[in-house]
Structure 1
Amino acid sequence: MAGQSRKWMILVATIWIQAFTGTNFDFSAYSSDLKSVLGISQVQLNYLAVASDLGKVFGWSSGLALMYFPLWTVLFAAAFMGFVGYGVQWLVITHFISLPYIMVFLCCLLAGLSICWFNTVCFVLCISNFPANRSLALSLTVSFNGVSAALYTLAYNAINPTSPELYLLLNALIPLIVSFTAIIPILRQPPFEPLPPDGVRRDSLMFLLLNILAALNGVYLLLFGSNSSDLTSARLLFGGAILLLVFPLCIPGLVIARNWYNRTIHTSFRLEGSGFILVDPDELELHKGMLAHEANREGYQLLSDDVVQNPVKSVAVEEEDSDESCCKKLITRDQLEGLGIEHSLSLLLTRSDFWLYYITYFCGGTIGLVYSNNLGQIAQSLGQSSNTTTLVTLYSAFSFFGRLLSATPDYIRAKVYFARTGWLAIALLPTPFALFLLASSGTASALQAGTALMGLSSGFIFAAAVSITSELFGPNSVGVNHNILITNIPIGSLIYGFLAALVYDSHGFTGTKSMTSESVVCMGRDCYYLTFVWWGCLSLLGLGSSLVLFIRTRRAYQRFEQARISSNINDS
């Protein structure tokens, strides 16, 4: 029982870590001041945002560190990297020291790398302590990473709402403080205890309660996250947000009292375990067995158990009908026959499904991230500089809701089953709508609506991506395969941000402008009009790619669900 309560303490610790280490999402809150102090162009500012995202390219280093050092060492290494990366930037922006541009670039890179290391620590803790419900644990903790900007805005308003450079100081100090707080439950991590089926269902109920608390937290931050009318009220609001983060500590107490609760109150509420590949290894084995059985009947070259020699349907090109349409070839060629089949790096890079998935992420979630990086300059160009913190909070809160919604398929699958790649396609719909709305109108209401939609869409994609990678290309290879997938983030940050910066600077020199230090500030709708149009067109490409991916993978998801239903019938 003590071990069960300690694992929930660890989950709360990972929630705290994630909630305060999404520090890249508040870049737009201080980017204008950083640009002014350094006297750089919008293109050069974009390179600093790229440097933060470029840390993800080196995210594999955290896994390498875990091979040689204990988990708590990697946690504090991440904290100190962030402390140095953001701390030096704070010294620069407050004029304590003066550094060349390349040194500031390296500091941004170090700060971005720290976020990847924090994420790795949290992923390992969730997977090792909740193997039967790791999907719910991952989606819940990753969700809180999206709320960081709103929390930092509350802290900023509670301390000094007239000093944007304060964000950098908070980014440097708070993750370090949280790491010291979280170290106790991490050091007391319990040994693995396999759960019976009823234990998995009880844990799922606990996750449902935690998701309800998380939703309340998101509503609170959405309503009060940017309130800075009064310093005292801002401090009370920040205290309320911290209290909501502390409240999940009641869960370990509920676990300890669970036996008494079950003896005195019989609940009729039953919650099935999470529905995707990471939830129940037995379901995966049954699914592979069914595939092997069908392979014997249909001639597919599949092997069950641990090794799959040929995970895709063999297509004999010489037997294809000459009149077969290109669309049919696109849908049926090299289709996945099942979920959870492990893919090596070489096999992954030859799969059509992977590149469709890559394009979907590149033209979807990555555009949302680049939008958040440029939010400060977007608001400034539209005369909304005073509302920058409000917009940052809005994006953060809706990104949080999007991340929470990514767990919806796991909760409703007993009544409505839909392939997770289909949910991904639905999640992409708000992105082109938001971008074309922003291109068509420069009003404050359009900016707020577009920002909310961008946050909602990108948040869902960020949280669902780990699960989808695990399902399509194997849970054991998810560490390597997902790191390959997210290489699109720094690439997209460079390309999309560079495009936006070129348009911004060109209109800054030819249109309405103001000079701040040696940098040019563009004013007016034209500063980002072409950028929004181009981003919107590219997001339509991502939407189309996601639809093709859904059609190609729908059969594999249906097979897996049929295997799960058959397993439940046999067990009953």
Structure 2
Amino acid sequence: MFSKEKWSFESHVLSGRWFTIFASVLIMSVNGATYLFGVYSNDIKSSLGYDQTTLNLVSFFKDLGGNLGIISGLINEITPPWVVLAIGAAMNFFGYFMIWLAVTGRTASPHVWQMCLYIWIGADSQAFANTGSLITCVKNFPESRGIVLGLLKGFVGLSGAIMTQLYHALHGNNTKSLVLFIAWLPAAVSVVFLRTVRIVKVSRRHEKDVRIFYDVLYSSLALAAFLMVVIIVENRQEFYEWKNSKNGCSDAKIVPEDENTFNQQTPVSCIKNVFSPPPRGEDYTILQALFSIDMLILFIATSCGIGGTLTAIDNLGQIAKFLGYNTNTITTFVSLVSIWNYLGRVASGFASEILLTKYKFPRPLMLTFVLLFSCIGHLLIAFPVPNSLYVASVIIGFCFGAQWPLLFAVISEVFGLKYYSTLFQFGAVASPVGAYVLNVKVAGHLYDKEAIKQLGVKGLVRKAGEDLTCLGVEGDNYEKVERKYFYRETIEPD
């Protein structure tokens, strides 16, 4: 039997803010399903007969759902975190379960708008998980917000590699089963930790807090290194096959959950003071922040920066396919993006905190450097050389991840923490806006245009219900492309 003292200690641990960090780490570790779209996107395309523009439209709604978390932010303003997490768990299971039914043929082929709705619901659950756990942790550790953001958002990025390896262990190369896997696993983890994620107030900052965060960082780095080794080992045999083919043919007080501390404060006339914001760093109202020049600059930078890298990530499956890589290698690229996405998040979170504290190096300037670095990855995709897609995956993944903690830390520093749950989500909205313009209107349009051109050169016409695939451009020698694909499909079957 448990003694009273032991039970009291366990209760203290479970209700403390550090257990909230632990629970949030686990929730974040399985809530990066949106980054796995490149693995199963070809299943959606082939099963439902989509062209690239239609697939990118579905991808846009995935990005919109993953970043349009305004509703979750508003709900979190008036409810305890467990309510937000519960809603997110239900949405995650429903959305991805319906997609799994569609791609496996267990239901009638859905309309495009239905697929967009399903993936929006499933992806929007990620915003609920972020709001319920990440926002809570930032409020529990406001003095280390950069570190908390970098660490937890890093686990979101790493979740792609974690879930990929778990899926390989359970389902092999059956990518359709991955959709069912990401339907139930994130929902199950959120449900398990519903009552342990809570806002905890502390009277003072403990000196050992940062040291503990570094211990968590080292553990996560070890996990990332392990996953990288696993990926290398998994693809070693594929390298030899590629080489052979080339030679052959060319102290704490818990805030009661039913108590809304924000609503007890004196209300402010938000309409009257919209264009009279307080000094930067103080608490802005929601409208003051939205109509400020600072938010406009952040919106434009995020639309171009995160939207551009997200376009490359979402189309990674198609990029790898028309460069001649098989399905196993595509999962490698997705895992590389995931691991370096994680490294980018933790690196920018910890580094920005250190540079700001010791050298007064501003986070917006660091964000600018990250945006410039991402251009190298885009150039490697636009002008590929042998194996350049591996390097591009690393750069794109790192830069995509590095932008998020910087963006959210800047929002908290400029506009304050009073309405951070909502402003956090408004900052994220710019990502799907940029992805829609660059992914659907630019990348998808150009992809389909080139694919139709290739069909015309070969004297073929696209059949109704047939997916539209571009085989890449090697001058006008499409026969060479076809021979390359025939060889890969017969020698290296998926």
TM-score class, shorter: 0.7 to 0.9
Higher RCO (CA 8 Å, separation ≥ 6 residues): 2
Distance in 2 (CA, whole Å) between partners of 1:204 and 1:369 is 31
Judged with a 3 Å threshold, the aligned counterparts in structure 2 of structure 1 residues 452 and 383 are, in CA distance, closer, same or farther, namely same
Which of 442, 454, 467 is matched with 1:519 structurally?
467
Which of 194, 199, 207 is matched with 2:203 structurally?
194
Cα shift at 1:480: 3.2
* Mapping of residues 229-308 of structure 1, within 5 Å: none
Pair 1:28-2:38 in alignment: yes
Cα shift at 1:520: 1.4
* 8 Å CA contact retained: 2:298, 2:407: no
* Mapping of residues 105-504 of structure 1, within 5 Å: 105-183=116-194, 185-186=196-197, 189=198, 191-196=200-205, 199=206, 201-225=207-231, 228=234, 339-386=280-327, 387-406=329-348, 407-413=350-356, 415-443=358-386, 445-498=387-440, 499-504=442-447
Q: After TM superposition, what 4+ stretches of structure 1 lie above 6 angstroms from structure 2? A: 512-516
Cα shift at 1:72: 2.0
Cα shift at 1:138: 2.5
* 8 Å CA contact retained: 2:44, 2:103: yes
One-letter code of the match for 2:61? A
TM-score, normalising length from structure 2?
A: 0.79
Distance in 1 (CA, whole Å) between partners of 2:81 and 2:295 is 31
* 8 Å CA contact retained: 1:399, 1:458: yes
Judged with a 3 Å threshold, the aligned counterparts in structure 2 of structure 1 residues 414 and 119 are, in CA distance, closer, same or farther, namely closer
Q: Provide the residue aligned with 1:54 in structure 2.
A: 64
Cα shift at 1:226: 6.8
Pair 1:102-2:113 in alignment: yes
Cα shift at 1:227: 5.1
Cα shift at 1:474: 2.6
Q: Matched residue of 2:468: which SS?
A: strand
Q: Provide the residue aligned with 2:19 in structure 1.
A: 9
Q: Provide the residue aligned with 2:94 in structure 1.
A: 84
Distance in 1 (CA, whole Å) between partners of 2:393 and 2:452 is 27
One-letter code of the match for 1:465? L
One-letter code of the match for 2:187? L
Distance in 1 (CA, whole Å) between partners of 2:309 and 2:363 is 20
Judged with a 3 Å threshold, the aligned counterparts in structure 2 of structure 1 residues 405 and 454 are, in CA distance, closer, same or farther, namely same
**1:115-169 CA-partner distances (Å, limit 9, x unpaired):** 1111100123203432433332232111100012111210121122221112101
One-letter code of the match for 1:71? P
Cα shift at 1:341: 3.2
Distance in 2 (CA, whole Å) between partners of 1:69 and 1:414 is 34
Cα shift at 1:19: 0.9
Judged with a 3 Å threshold, the aligned counterparts in structure 2 of structure 1 residues 184 and 392 are, in CA distance, closer, same or farther, namely same
Cα shift at 1:352: 3.3
Distance in 1 (CA, whole Å) between partners of 2:190 and 2:308 is 31
**1:350-399 CA-partner distances (Å, limit 9, x unpaired):** 53333222221111122111211111111111111331000000000111
Q: Provide the residue aligned with 1:75 in structure 2.
A: 85
**1:14-63 CA-partner distances (Å, limit 9, x unpaired):** 01101101110000100011101011111110111111122256412113
**1:460-494 CA-partner distances (Å, limit 9, x unpaired):** 00122110111123332433333333222221121
Distance in 2 (CA, whole Å) between partners of 1:122 and 1:458 is 21
* 8 Å CA contact retained: 1:153, 1:226: no
Q: Provide the residue aligned with 2:53 in structure 1.
A: 43
Cα shift at 1:507: 1.0
Q: Matched residue of 1:178: which SS?
A: helix
User: How many residues are matched?
Assistant: 421
Which has the higher mean CA deviation after the structures are superposed, 132-141 or 408-417? 408-417
Any stretches of 5+ residues in structure 1 without a counterpart? 231-254, 256-306, 313-337, 528-572
* 8 Å CA contact retained: 2:74, 2:421: no
Distance in 1 (CA, whole Å) between partners of 2:199 and 2:453 is 63
Distance in 2 (CA, whole Å) between partners of 1:23 and 1:226 is 22
Q: Matched residue of 1:364: which SS?
A: helix
One-letter code of the match for 1:432? C
Which has the higher mean CA deviation after the structures are superposed, 55-64 or 19-28? 55-64
Distance in 1 (CA, whole Å) between partners of 2:474 and 2:417 is 46
Judged with a 3 Å threshold, the aligned counterparts in structure 2 of structure 1 residues 427 and 526 are, in CA distance, closer, same or farther, namely farther
Judged with a 3 Å threshold, the aligned counterparts in structure 2 of structure 1 residues 308 and 179 are, in CA distance, closer, same or farther, namely closer
Distance in 2 (CA, whole Å) between partners of 1:79 and 1:47 is 24
Judged with a 3 Å threshold, the aligned counterparts in structure 2 of structure 1 residues 457 and 193 are, in CA distance, closer, same or farther, namely same
Q: Matched residue of 2:208: which SS?
A: helix
Which has the higher mean CA deviation after the structures are superposed, 509-518 or 49-58? 509-518
Which has the higher mean CA deviation after the structures are superposed, 453-462 or 410-419? 410-419
Distance in 1 (CA, whole Å) between partners of 2:93 and 2:232 is 25
Distance in 2 (CA, whole Å) between partners of 1:31 and 1:526 is 24
* 8 Å CA contact retained: 1:154, 1:226: no
* 8 Å CA contact retained: 2:27, 2:186: yes
Which has the higher mean CA deviation after the structures are superposed, 409-418 or 372-381? 409-418
Q: Provide the residue aligned with 1:509 in structure 2.
A: 452
* 8 Å CA contact retained: 2:81, 2:133: no
Distance in 1 (CA, whole Å) between partners of 2:84 and 2:124 is 12
**1:335-358 CA-partner distances (Å, limit 9, x unpaired):** xxx640333444445533332222
* 8 Å CA contact retained: 1:38, 1:101: no
Distance in 1 (CA, whole Å) between partners of 2:231 and 2:211 is 29
Judged with a 3 Å threshold, the aligned counterparts in structure 2 of structure 1 residues 526 and 50 are, in CA distance, closer, same or farther, namely farther
* 8 Å CA contact retained: 2:67, 2:127: no
One-letter code of the match for 2:43? D
* 8 Å CA contact retained: 1:402, 1:459: yes
One-letter code of the match for 1:182? F
Distance in 2 (CA, whole Å) between partners of 1:194 and 1:64 is 27
One-letter code of the match for 1:505? D
One-letter code of the match for 2:89? A
One-letter code of the match for 1:193? V
Q: Provide the residue aligned with 1:234 in structure 2.
A: none
* 8 Å CA contact retained: 2:68, 2:428: no
One-letter code of the match for 1:385? N
**1:423-460 CA-partner distances (Å, limit 9, x unpaired):** 111212221111112222253x2111111101111100
Distance in 2 (CA, whole Å) between partners of 1:15 and 1:223 is 22
